[in-house]
Chains A and B, each alone.
Chain A
């Protein structure tokens, strides 16, 4: 059966937006940048879903904004955990790194514990966001150096 297109996204609430922002950082992180979650999560973590490698079908849109079509698949690893205190965390990240997916799920679970957020910000999220911003800026600056102005010349023969 053809699969259904994704329904329009419901209006997100601020809590979901903040959680999605953390997930976006985790997805862009290197596995070592998420390492501090292991100690913060402590013992007694249950793997609700052992890290699993699979696929998502990446969709584009005809003409850029028209009808969706299936561009091709991408590898994704997903994981779900429950901390000893009961918080659950989920992760879906591009690639095939099981340890990264599990750490991203731990981060999502730890984020649910509000008292821990300043620690997460300081130890993981702020340095990660700073590195990603710098990398993005560096790329944008390289692109800017190749910005071109073409001049149309007047032909001399007519």
Chain B
């Protein structure tokens, strides 16, 4: 238990001043500006937007600068900022089928309608350090090719058309949408709440859980049906105006994981699905999210929950790295009163132990003396 302490103001102020000085680093090196972070460390910005659960590239970039590149600290700053703002409402559900696609790949269909677009990817690079990046010089502009306006249907819509894939849950516009920022989660949690928590969950935690399921702790036999990344338009249902107002566009990444079959007496065998969606370009995140989403559906698909990745409460209550770091890191704050109580207790236990030990030794000595005498 934490009991408040007083004092230390001057030391704390000086510590924060040193923090700011350290943040600046060697003053002989040019200071980094938030717009450089926004433009050149874009994937760090995307991660902070996801785990901070707020789409705002400039804010995430500034938070990364303030946190000295500690991305969980940056997400914490973004979450704290978010609490200072009113919420105007919700957008209409975004349509990833209408995305301006920058990347779109499928590991299940070679020749899918609309084609495979690699986009700006680390895939197929050799992961060799590029020392040229440390030298001056601009990279060449990206190559171009004539673009057609081919439609890019979601792969899952193609499979669903044949009935080989379970269909999406029906969309009831009147149904309420759960929001764990307003109401605490209770278990079992519906899929809307699970997806919300996974979307803001820690990428490393989700990655490890997804990996655990691939290695056999709750296997789901997945294929990456489709990964797509690009811009989608947002529309806000504005009560003042009575129509959907265009807000601008954001970048999102989506993963459709296709998993082994489920069927029943009533339903023919069909592939099952896991879904991942995240702000920005966050491919590892959405793949892990989709694997974990499918694993969390184990019970509703008639499976038995045997592994951590399938356990809703285990996954959802530990996925948020702001909560996790708060609870882990609070241990370093002064716990003097608490520790004094524990110290008193352990002294008492030791005194009792010593007294018992001395009494036992005394009894043994008496016995030995008596035996010697006999």
**CB distance B178 to A70 under 8 Å?**
yes
Closest Cβ of chain B to A45, distance in Å, is 18
A131 within 8 A of B: no
Stretch of B81-89, B127-135, B309-317, B327-335 that contacts chain A: B81-89
Complex contacts, B96 vs chain A, CB 8 Å? 60, 64
Known: A71-B277, A143-B102. A3 touches B90 (CB 8 A): yes
Complex contacts, A53 vs chain B, CB 8 Å? 85
**CB distance A62 to B177 under 8 Å?**
no
5 further A-B pairs in the complex, CB-CB below 8 A; given A24-B246, A28-B248? A55-B87, A70-B196, A71-B278, A146-B118, A147-B117
Stretch of A73-81, A111-119, A120-128 that contacts chain B: A73-81
Complex contacts, A58 vs chain B, CB 8 Å? 55, 90-91, 94, 234, 250
Q: Which of A66, A94, A138, A144 contacts B146 (CB 8 A)?
A: A144
Stretch of B29-37, B137-145, B365-373 that contacts chain A: B137-145
B3 within 8 A of A: no
Bound complex: CA of A58 vs CA of B94, how far in Å?
A: 8
A141 within 8 A of B: yes
**CB distance A59 to B90 under 8 Å?**
yes
19 A-B residue pairings within 8 Å (CB atoms): A6-B92, A6-B244, A24-B233, A54-B86, A55-B85, A61-B93, A64-B156, A64-B168, A64-B275, A67-B169, A67-B170, A69-B199, A72-B53, A74-B91, A76-B247, A92-B238, A92-B247, A95-B58, A140-B100
User: Which residues of chain B (272-313) have a CB below 8 Å from chain A?
Assistant: 273, 275, 277-279
Smallest CB gap from B107: residue in A: A150
Known: A63-B273, A78-B88. A68 touches B192 (CB 8 A): yes
Per-position contact with B for A26-61: 1 when CB-CB < 8 Å, else 0?
A: 011000000000000000000000001111111111
Bound complex: CA of A18 vs CA of B250, how far in Å?
A: 22
Count chain B CB atoms within 10 A of each CB in A68, A96, A145, A152 and give the residue with the most. Answer: A68
Known: A16-B243, A55-B86, A57-B91. A71 touches B275 (CB 8 A): no
B212 within 8 A of A: no
A-B pairs under 8 A by CB, number = 274
**CB distance A146 to B177 under 8 Å?**
no
Known: A6-B93, A23-B246. A70 touches B177 (CB 8 A): yes
Known: A16-B243, A67-B175, A93-B248. A147 touches B116 (CB 8 A): yes
Complex contacts, A92 vs chain B, CB 8 Å? 88, 236, 238, 245, 247
Complex contacts, B244 vs chain A, CB 8 Å? 6, 9, 20
B148 within 8 A of A: yes
Complex contacts, A136 vs chain B, CB 8 Å? 100
**CB distance A71 to B196 under 8 Å?**
yes
**CB distance B171 to A61 under 8 Å?**
yes
Q: Which of A64, A69, A143 contacts B97 (CB 8 A)?
A: A64
A85 within 8 A of B: no
Smallest CB gap from A49: residue in B: B240
**CB distance B168 to A63 under 8 Å?**
yes
**CB distance B116 to A3 under 8 Å?**
no
B249 within 8 A of A: yes
